[in-house]
Amino acid sequence: MSDRRCFEYLDRSLRDVLDCNGQTFGSISVLLGGDFQQNLPVLPKATLSQIVDLTLPNLYLRSFFQIQILSQNMRLLSGNNDGTHTFSTASFVDWLLRIGDGTVGRPDVDDPHDTSWIYMPDSLLIPARSASLQNLIDFVYGTEILNDPTANDLSGRAIVCPSTKVADNINIIILKMISTYGKIYNSTDAMEPNGNTQIGSRGSLPWRIPESIDLPRNTTSCY
């Protein structure tokens, strides 16, 4: 879940930029999408009450929003799954919803109100063996995608990692499995002169050119 302060800063910035202090977000319509049953915001060394205070339900702008509840799972209605896989996905979605509602799990002895122990079904686990990581890669990507990867296929798949180091190691393994050739794009953080143009503090663009550009202006009504 996002930190409520992000939206509060955005609201104040838009009011200031658009010179519209009397309207939320400077009179701009804002659409937020998400799930209140997500993980709480991360605040290092904070107490539970401090973390809960950062959630969106405590946003001072909440009374200005109209809350719409989505009740249909579009993934189940996509028609791309067979009957067996659809049933498995439906069961998984229902299991996640019951976890969010607090109806699944055994309350912890030391903190029964806020902590529960949840049993992970064996069907959701990959056994801890020497080939576990390889099995996970094969499950997510498959041999066909690894042999002929495309941007469309790769954009719809990902392995969530606990740290950047783990992600780098998995990337190295997957890149070694791909049989196609890679392409390296070099970048630079220094400016290079173009022809006889001298590089100054303003770069190679004459300083009067940006001031002479007539950009279209968006008209915003503020009531």
Largest CA distance in the chain: 76
At residue 217, the pLDDT reads 53
At residue 84, the pLDDT reads 46
42/19 Cα distance (integer angstroms)? 33
> Tokens representing 179?
């049989």
At residue 187, the pLDDT reads 77
pLDDT < 70: residue spans in the chain: 75-87, 190-223
The answer to whether residues 24 and 18 touch, using CB atoms and an 8 Å cutoff, is no
